[in-house]
Amino acid sequence: MNEYDYKIALVGNPNVGKTTIYNKITHSFEHVGNWHGVTVSASSKEILFEHNKILVTDVPGLYSLTIYSPEEGISRDYIYDKNENLIVDLCEVNNLSRNLYLTLQMMEAGTPLVIAITMMDELKRHGKVLNYRKLEKAIGLPVIPIDDRYHSDVHLLLSVIIDIIDSGVKSTFDLPYLSELPVEDISKIIQPFAEKAGIESRFAALKILERDSFILEKLSLGEEEKKKIEEIGNWQDRLAAARYSYIDKIMDGVIVSSVSLEHKEMHEHTAHDVPLNETEDESSKSEDYHKKLHDDIQRRKRLEKRGYSGLDRVLLNKYLALPMFFAVMLFIFFFTFSDYSPGWWMQEGLSYVFDDLLHASVEDAMLSAGIWSWLVSLVCDGVIDGVGGVLVFLPQIVLLFLFLALLEDSGYISRVAFMTDGLFRKIGLSGRSVFTMLMGFGCSATAVLTARGLEDDMMRKKTILLTPFMSCSARLPVYSAICGAYFALSSGVNFKALIILGMYFLGALIAISYAAIFNKIKGLKSGSLSFIMEMPPYRVPTPTRVFQLLWHNAKAFLVRVGTIVFALNVFVWMLSDFGIGQVDGNLVFGYVGDYDPGQIKSFLEYAAGAISPLFIPLGFGGGETGWQAVTALLSGLVAKEVVLASMESFGGAAAIFGSNSPAALAFIVFTLLYVPCIATITAIRKEAGVKWMLANIGLQIGTAYVVSLIFYWLGVLFVAQTAVALSIVIALVVLVPATLIIIRRLRKKNRACNSCPYCNDCNKTLCVSDQDLES
């Protein structure tokens, strides 16, 4: 018995807009973005459409049924299992021929199909039209062009789908190119095996021609058959070429320029070919000149046809690409965090509302009504200061997510992955890892998931391990609050913004250093990668989408603050404001504020006090308030926002660290580097296993401790002997890389060239063959 009336799955190449359609159909908010491989797992949802219960499934994108990366396997299984009534094959109109390649493969497999063509709006903008009836006739499948911005188009798609399923779905197709291939010969050889495995023999034969290991394994052929097939030879290229030439035949005349564009082109042409005001003596050289101009235009047109983009020429310029990327990142940070920036004004406004308006008026009202002092403290210090202290960062966090979304949706982030690949390959990662790490600036837990698109397993796990070092948006409030209290504007230098920016750089620097170190360790070296990623076209993010994204992120943040942060905050407040102690020889239990200072200790003071001595070397574990700093860090394990909430309910940064500003600095460094939150740890366990999760916890806490220690003592020295501290920092910055370079040089010099046949006393510092051996 089937509990659904219909079951459909959305399948197609990566970045064709499957999830966008899925979100529209099911009113979901699955993550979408303008890059390849956003969706890494299947998600299903039941909808009710015209009194029919339909189960809609969205799967990761795939290029071919013969898979290359693990998430493509999920989609392949959906196609092979044939549990769906219909597979909706989404094809992007800009890239139709490559999309149809997968369509052909599914037709070979006998999949029940309908083709939906997306991004129709972009085609219109390029002044072209799609003759979908012609395509329908040529390929023998129903074709529905849709514009995913409109609900009406999605509605149409669903109606047509139901109609197609009801009127019976075709699942055998006539594919003329198959006769050019030795399909029949192989089919005869493998017939009995295919029957046993339950695979159609014609399809199995095709997969054998492709050397698809998945199908080969399923068939489990005998030695004799294997030999026979080996004799037929390698047909991979010819099969692909046959499919593509069939596609070219189908596509002939399907996409044509609309009349208006032809008109425009004609004008351009005339303008170049008939020069105005031409004088006699110029005419001889101008013939050459105009021929060249004409050739240039023709050349450009041919390049454009194959995906040339003028924007890429600038943004991917060999020398300008990286500086431009850094400029973009700096702009984002200063726009969001620095004093007097838009982000700062919004945050100041909200803090005024919470601190000066809400806190003061509620406290006055409650006290004058004669409510117990502990309840006043709970509401004002615990809830309003704690939760409010986190809430004021809503604008900055939303701004950060907005910028990340713009990077993602415009298609720029894939270019970043491309341009940084040259650098990152040297440390055993790829540009694809940079991508995951950039997403880590938003949220570590979700960024970890984006690593799935990385094909090399070791590289993927290392990326997952190191991504939490990137400063996520939840850590930002801690830096901002502490820097606001300790490192505000002084002598014209905006130290606050610099320190916040420094935290982001420090996190990234540590992740990169670890990657470099890991790549030197034998068991942790990455495999080689050949295929990085496809570049999406540049797109202008639509206002609706940006607004949706802002609202979604703001909502997620508010929900977290309203639930986890609030609950934990009340819990921490209770444990820190109630306690037991000896008063006049009697053991008493009660509200700490009701007794003289020092008479009774709160529960948290006992608990966190037990481990706080560990943090004395970092400057913030000792003294009267040491346990408060440690409590804040411990509660931050649940979610990093709670670090600040706890601090605020203890009276804010200034009350905890007093005049010890190096300790405050060490505290933010520790916050940056220690284990991000339970959600991230769980995600790491799920993605990479328990071993890597434990490694991550150990690595992060260890790194946090050591680096904070260094920062604390440098800070102490800076306060006491500014000049000495500065010279040590400069010396370190200059000396460490210098020593590393010298050591490398020396090692290379000392090592003999082991495969140079030309001379025996060679002392070259660099040997090509040697490097090859290394890599």
Size of the site for another protein (CB under 8 A): 50
Please give the C-alpha separations between residue 652 and each of 18, 350, 486, 500, 717, in angstroms, as whole numbers. 47, 17, 12, 18, 25
The CA-based dihedral angle spanning residues 447, 675, 398, 481, taken in that order and rounded to the nearest 10 degrees? -160
516 touches another protein by CB under 8 A? no
Q: Least CB distance from residue 8 to another protein, whole Å?
A: 25
| Nearest-approach distance from CB 442 to another protein, in angstroms | 23
Binding mask 396-425 for another protein (x = CB under 8 A): ---------------------xxxxxxx-x
Cβ distance 540 to 617 under 8 Å? Answer: no
What's the CA dihedral at 26, 30, 35, 41 to 10 degrees? -100
| Site residues (CB under 8 A) for another protein, limited to 73-112 | 94-95, 97-98, 101
For position 528 contacting another protein by CB under 8 A, the verdict is yes
Q: Does 318 bind another protein (CB under 8 A)?
A: yes
> Which region, judged by CB under 8 A, interacts with another protein, from 221-229, 445-453, 523-531, 687-695?
523-531
- CB neighbour class for 314 (10 Å; exposed up to 12, middle 13-18, buried from 19): exposed
Q: Amino acid identity of 684?
A: I
Among 392, 533, 572, 645, binds another protein (CB under 8 A): 533
Q: Of the candidates 614, 610, 676, 664, which has an alpha carbon nearest to the alpha carbon of residue 640?
A: 676
Rg of the Cα atoms in the chain: 32
Min dist. Cβ of residue 223 to another protein (A): 20
Q: Any contact of residue 246 with another protein (CB under 8 A)?
A: no
Nearer to another protein, 90 or 478 (CB): 90
Tokens 């050397």 belong to 211
Q: Does 431 bind another protein (CB under 8 A)?
A: yes
Task: Give me the least distance between CB of 184 and another protein, in Å please.
Answer: 22
Residue owning tokens 């053991």: 587
Residues 185-214 contacting another protein, CB under 8 A:
210-211
The distance of closest approach from Cβ of residue 547 to another protein in the complex, given in angstroms and rounded to an integer, is: 29
3-state secondary structure of 92: strand
Restricted to residues 120-159, the positions that interact with another protein (CB under 8 A) are: none
Q: Which of 185, 534, 594, 770 binds another protein (CB under 8 A)?
A: 534
Q: Token pair for residue 309? A: 């983009």
**Binding residue for another protein, selected from 44, 83, 131, 236, defined by CB under 8 A:** 236
DSSP 457-469: HHHHHHHHHHGGG
Which residue number, 305 or 522, has a Cβ lying nearer to another protein? 305
Q: How far is the CB of 237 from another protein (least distance, A)?
A: 6
Closer residue to another protein in complex, CB, 132/246: 246
Which H or E run includes 108?
Answer: helix 96-108
Judged by CB, which is closer to another protein: 412, or 615?
Answer: 412
Which of 43, 64, 338, 513 touches another protein by CB under 8 A?
A: 64
Q: Burial of 238 by CB count in 10 Å (0-12 exposed, 13-18 middle, 19+ buried)?
A: middle
Give dist(CA 186, CA 595) in Å, integer: 90
Residues 286-315 that bind another protein (CB under 8 A): 299, 302-303, 305-309, 312-313
Closer residue to another protein in complex, CB, 308/372: 308
Pairing of strands 52-58, 86-92: unpaired
Where b means 16+ CB within 10 Å and e means fewer, 700-713 reads beebbbebbbebbb
Would you say 393 or 418 has its CB closer to another protein? Answer: 418
Which residues are paired to 588 by β-bridges? 581
| 733 three-class SS | helix
> Which listed residue (47, 532, 554, 556) binds another protein by CB under 8 A?
532
Give which of 478, 485, 517, 502 is closest to 644, Cα–Cα.
478
Q: Give the separation between CA 726 and CA 719, rounded to whole angstroms.
A: 11
Cβ pair 628, 613 in contact under 8 A: no
Q: According to CB under 8 A, which one of 81, 237, 584, 772 is a site residue for another protein?
A: 237
Q: Which is nearer to another protein, 211 or 745 (CB)?
A: 211
Answer for which of 68, 340, 352, 551 binds another protein (CB under 8 A) is 68
Q: Could you tell me the smallest distance in angstroms from the CB atom of residue 312 to another protein?
A: 6
Whole-number minimum distance, CB 323 to another protein, in Å?
10
Which residues here bind another protein, judged by CB under 8 A?
63-64, 66, 68, 94-95, 97-98, 101, 210-211, 236-237, 240-241, 244, 299, 302-303, 305-309, 312-313, 316-319, 321-322, 417-423, 425-426, 431, 528-535
